[in-house]
Structure 1
């Protein structure tokens, strides 16, 4: 400022010497200009930073929004299945089916909003209050239930053993018209106890629309519902006729009482409650002998008071659907038929009832028997008729356990604050257990399709396509598919949301490997110099269509599940709460509580996942050649936590002490010293070469009774392991810490068969072990089926007893392939 004031005095006192003033004024102008330039520069920089910050802010918002949407953005490649692939025009023979595995008996179509049909029943005059049966529940404690015969397309025979009577449910379909043709049910009830008085049973046949379509009830004399007519977008016009009960095909009608219910439903998951809340005791069962007894029957639907008030306060946004129930009450033995007739089937020769149905059913059974023997050859192998019957039941239960689901998954990514709804989609899939897991599981499905691909490769191609069409743009497939309100009603809330960083074993590559092996002309060998299979073969065309999705799926595993060390992999999604778990679970691996590193960290390396990806890489290379694409632990324990109790507090007022994890020592990176299923994966998936010295150690440890060997199969964790049969929490019983699982035992038998037939120093040892292990596993599963009436989720490694959920005719049905020696 001083220099500026000096310049001003010179200009005022000596205006004459202009040159000097101009010369002397120059530096002052420069000084004056210098400051504004710095200020402008500062302002410009500030403006630039503001603009950059705003751009970065909006870019970050855009990117976060884009990343948040990726989890619900479907894969951009063309869908494997056309939208109408399951329509009656494209697939009439599979349009109707027993695609409701969660109920004891019911049928629907493979369409998003299908008309559904089903059966409920209850025993009258029992000591129990109301024993209404509908959805498959382990709490119902049925002696057994399951399909004895089912071809997956045209017919099925199921036996259900309740307290003192047996229900046999049969159905058969006949093609015709434009909407999947006709079908008929036959329900036969017989007493199987020695009670003096035969039980009286009420059968309740129902039909319900699912938000679209309408039903009309046609009532005859004695309050008997004779038929229901209706229409829907997928079915056109149709008629369902309820025939009167008889003592048998050639016998006359039996005495029965009839009731019916017509109500509205705002969800298929509410059908049981609607019936339960409509029951009344005001009706009399009057036998021809003159005895009159009050019985329970459907009357008028009366929702509970709290539910009625809730509905008034908050109306359900879903459209109300029609629901009609026909109840027939009759004393055993008896037989009832229900007939569905399509309005577009105009040239049917006769009705599919009585002797006509019997003849058609026997024809389908004979065709099933021939195909079963041609496919699996159990009679040729010397199995007894009882063992062959067991094999047929195992396959039939998997086919009868196929379900068609439609709806939206609930998903979340790291970029979503709250869960989102996935795009609507359909899934045609087998289910692990009709009672406990009546929905699709990604890691189970690959095992399911190993068996079904032998029976019907088209089913495998279609089910695999449905799964791959659910892939998002990242390459992620939600590992548990809970589609629709009916499916969601069976799942605890904590398991509903699926997170996109979590994987599941890519077992669909096992099914694809099987399809490749079935290709003719050497296509299954993977030899690039061998003859190429016919490009028009259904499997080759299928592989060409799914290949872009397989590439994305494979890359998703390689990026999201990659470990820190190159070439290593780790399962994300391990439990983070280490306080309450003896060993944090890894649900994503499928081997839930199998011992892993005591402290989850990014440094973990999971050998089973590495082996799964080795299998996937091999299948990808073979598929690429066919379609012309380029191919190139710290010691831990659970102890009661310390709880502070003030002096003088009575013992009954002590707070409950939880079991919490106590860690002794500092965790460090090392091998998890647990011998079990995970240790075997290089052997199970045949990554080891036949001459590998490690194979000798694997065979030795497998055969050691103090480690993995039992007379019933290989246990999941060595008997000498510190975590063998240890609880993971105070509420969490051991799951993969000792029990015998059939899917892994199948892989072990399969691998032994491979190494027993490959040139190498351990060929004879593997072949001998193969025969022994196969005999043990098949023998125990069969014995338990005879003793308990069920195939089980797992088997006790000490007694061989079946345990866990039942029936479990998902991967446990792989016993059929072991019997047939087809790997």
Structure 2
């Protein structure tokens, strides 16, 4: 991962939602980790938030420098372009459809999680926190306003294409989980569980920082209280019919991509508003980001479902989508293989393992259950990554849920290198 740290210089191509004209962002430098030198030589906002969990344990000063460079990219509104394609090398490796960054598109604020990890593992961090706090505030406020849902304390990712005709389910690139199944028909009434959990976590980090540097934390305490209230989470995202936490939106499972006569989407039954009812990584966010109360019966149900081999559990890690889902391992287009529809991703497994470790340490009726699953899952993930590394010589972007075989981009010593944190039990 240290070898992936790179220095870029250039200007992003950006577009405002108020204009059709593509403009150049300001000329900027970026010192950052990247997922893969050979495949992805550019900065990814949500990836770097994971990478810093390992880099901080090696040299926290490097993490401070990387965080500062990213926060220097915030504009006056509080937006950070999610992909930093700076310079000729970066541009040469990017498909033209992904070059332009649009100012209504967010990305998971995983950098907040990395800063929380930095606070935990670095002494005398207050001077740095004072410097970055104003920019973190404006970034959070931009997320809070620009990604707000119709119902108070709900959120949804902007940027989904409701008129897409060649995608089984319109992509949600902003979430980082590109082809993970969301509502089949994007709509402003959507509620995205993962984004709400990210906002809950970020507000809590702002409370922590404000108290450490002597700033008023009352505003963020109120926001954090609302976003972590389990009863409010239930009212917005608990799908009682399926017994899972879920997105809400306009959806039908009765769709397919027709590629015999033409390449387009066929919808065989009218979509209806309701919970999506899909069990996968998104369903686990209240555990991953430690939102659930330790005595919550929802936690017991989630732990029980997590260990079921006919759902998400494998001997190599937690797969991204349940075996029972209509969309398990289905391609989203005729040219794009499934990514977040079955494969095992180490950044998500890191968060799941971190959540399990948390619930195994705090008092509660499900402490032993969390501890047992934690021990077994940690062993499975570590052993498979090492097996693949010794057999093939690489760390991979993701791993096959049926065989454990590494797949996707390689070498991928971005978030997959978090296996080192998992080994050291440093979350």
User: TM-score with structure 1 length normalisation?
Assistant: 0.47
Q: What is residue 735 of structure 1 aligned with on the other side?
A: 339
Whichever structure has more helix as a proportion of its residues is 2
What runs of 5+ residues in structure 1 fail to find an aligned partner?
A: 1-397, 521-536, 642-655
How far the C-alpha of 1:519 sits from its partner, in A, is: 4.8
How far the C-alpha of 1:639 sits from its partner, in A, is: 4.4
SS at match of 2:143: helix
Whichever structure has more strand as a proportion of its residues is 1
CA–CA distance in structure 1, aligned partners of residues 313 and 262 of structure 2? 35
How far the C-alpha of 1:629 sits from its partner, in A, is: 1.4
How far the C-alpha of 1:517 sits from its partner, in A, is: 1.2
2:254 corresponds, among 617, 636, 647, to: 636
Counterpart mapping for 1:484-503 below 5 A:
484-503=87-106
Q: Deviations over 1:556-591 (max 9, x none)?
A: 000000000111000001133332211111011000
How far the C-alpha of 1:415 sits from its partner, in A, is: 2.2
User: TM-score with structure 2 length normalisation?
Assistant: 0.91
Q: What is residue 413 of structure 1 aligned with on the other side?
A: 16
1:462 aligns with 2:65: yes
CA–CA distance in structure 1, aligned partners of residues 332 and 48 of structure 2? 27
CA–CA distance in structure 1, aligned partners of residues 340 and 29 of structure 2? 31
CA–CA distance in structure 1, aligned partners of residues 318 and 146 of structure 2? 32
Q: What is residue 188 of structure 2 aligned with on the other side?
A: 602
What runs of 5+ residues in structure 2 fail to find an aligned partner?
A: 219-250
CA–CA distance in structure 2, aligned partners of residues 433 and 484 of structure 1? 16
CA contact (8 A) 1:441 1:481 kept: yes
Q: What is residue 540 of structure 1 aligned with on the other side?
A: 126
Q: Deviations over 1:106-162 (max 9, x none)?
A: xxxxxxxxxxxxxxxxxxxxxxxxxxxxxxxxxxxxxxxxxxxxxxxxxxxxxxxxx
SS at match of 1:719: coil
CA–CA distance in structure 1, aligned partners of residues 63 and 324 of structure 2? 40
Aligned residues: CA RMSD: 1.1
CA–CA distance in structure 2, aligned partners of residues 453 and 598 of structure 1? 39
How far the C-alpha of 1:780 sits from its partner, in A, is: 0.2
CA contact (8 A) 1:433 1:806 kept: yes
How far the C-alpha of 1:413 sits from its partner, in A, is: 0.5
How far the C-alpha of 1:640 sits from its partner, in A, is: 2.9
CA contact (8 A) 1:615 1:685 kept: yes
1:512 aligns with 2:95: no
2:403 corresponds, among 799, 810, 814, to: 799
SS at match of 1:548: helix
CA contact (8 A) 1:638 1:661 kept: yes
CA–CA distance in structure 2, aligned partners of residues 405 and 749 of structure 1? 33
Q: Deviations over 1:435-474 (max 9, x none)?
A: 2111100000000001101111101110000000010000
CA–CA distance in structure 2, aligned partners of residues 746 and 636 of structure 1? 33
CA–CA distance in structure 1, aligned partners of residues 254 and 15 of structure 2? 32
1:587 aligns with 2:173: yes
How far the C-alpha of 1:662 sits from its partner, in A, is: 1.4
Q: Deviations over 1:626-649 (max 9, x none)?
A: 1221112213322436xxxxxxxx
CA–CA distance in structure 1, aligned partners of residues 347 and 167 of structure 2? 26
CA–CA distance in structure 2, aligned partners of residues 551 and 624 of structure 1? 10
Q: What is residue 550 of structure 1 aligned with on the other side?
A: 136
Aligned length: 395
Query: Could you list the runs of 4 or more consecutive aligned residues of structure 1 that deviate by over 4 angstroms after TM superposition?
Result: none
Q: What is residue 784 of structure 1 aligned with on the other side?
A: 388
CA contact (8 A) 1:582 1:636 kept: no
SS at match of 1:670: strand
Q: What is residue 475 of structure 1 aligned with on the other side?
A: 78
Q: What is residue 254 of structure 1 aligned with on the other side?
A: none
SS at match of 1:635: coil
CA contact (8 A) 1:598 1:636 kept: no
1:747 corresponds, among 351, 373, 376, to: 351
SS at match of 1:435: coil
How far the C-alpha of 1:489 sits from its partner, in A, is: 1.4
CA–CA distance in structure 2, aligned partners of residues 609 and 635 of structure 1? 23
CA contact (8 A) 1:638 1:729 kept: no
CA–CA distance in structure 1, aligned partners of residues 122 and 385 of structure 2? 31
1:623 aligns with 2:209: yes
CA–CA distance in structure 2, aligned partners of residues 408 and 451 of structure 1? 28
CA–CA distance in structure 1, aligned partners of residues 252 and 356 of structure 2? 34
Counterpart mapping for 1:701-780 below 5 A:
701-780=305-384
